[in-house]
Amino acid sequence: MAVSDRRPLVTVAYAQSLDGCIAARPGTRTPLSGPESLAYTHRLRAAHDAVLVGIGTVLADDPRLTVRLASGNHPQPIVLDSRLRLPLSAALLRHPTHRPWLATTHAAAGDAALVEPLQALGAELFPLASDAAGRIDLSALLAALGGRGIRTLMVEGGAGVLTAFLAGGHADRISVTVAPRWLGGLPALTRPLALQLHDPVWRDLGDDRVLEARLSDREAA
């Protein structure tokens, strides 16, 4: 796997129902992966230096983002948290090996009342440029991660974060678990995307099917 010197190689990974939903309702957790595909997700985590989610996923799921169902090291957890809303009770602040890195805006990073309690619990802040809507500049984030030695990054959600990485051309690989369920709820992506998949491979894992493909030629460079 060739790696760019400028930024990490990015894998977007998520689970969806047959009708393309990742949850029954916004802001809720809907388990979709079967035991086999869930174990595969943990193997995928172990193959990456870092794993990233948005603050919405943290507030809805309180994930640990550890490797528990496979062998390998825990990746560095990263949260996109433009307003520093990470709860002080979050499981990520009790991670067994890595305290979370919080990608946030310069405005939020300047608020001592928000920053100091999180830093006291070990969180590390990455103040970054933002757009007019307050969204973090993903190019700046990836450059900062590359500078910290992160060579492979797994992006797990939620829907807005997945869409931002895909629509912005920041993803190099995709791994989608399709579960045999029909939800009729929250779409996997927040707007339609036209993506060219290279060398697609389907894997049958229990009742689930997993699609993996390249989105760019960076790996072959």
Domain that residue 110 falls in:
9-220
Whether 3 is in a domain gets the answer no
Calculate mean pLDDT across residues 25-35. 78
Distance CA 99, CA 73 (A): 14
* Residue 45 tokens, joined: 């985590």
In DSSP notation, 152-219 reads EEEEEE-HHHHHHHHHTT--SEEEEEE-S----SEESSSS------EEEEEEEETTEEEEEEESSSGG
Residue 1 maps to a domain: no
From CA 141, how far away is CA 79, in angstroms rounded? Answer: 11
Computed from CA positions of residues 119, 123, 129, 131, in that sequence, does the dihedral angle turn out positive or negative? negative
The pTM of the full predicted model, rounded to 2 decimals, is: 0.88
Residue 4 resides in a domain: no
Judged against a pLDDT cut of 50, whether residue 3 lies above it is answered with no
Helix (H) or strand (E) holding 19: none
Find, among 13, 15, 61, 57, the residue nearest to 34 by Cα: 15
Encoded tokens for 158: 């939620």
Number of structural domains, the chain?
A: 1
Is pLDDT at 28 greater than 80 in this prediction? no
What pLDDT score was predicted for residue 88? Answer: 98
Does the residue 83 lie in any domain?
Answer: yes
**pLDDT tens for residues 150-166?**
999 999 988 899 999 99
Residue 2 falls within a domain, yes or no?
A: no
**CATH number of the domain within which 175 lies:** 3.40.430.10
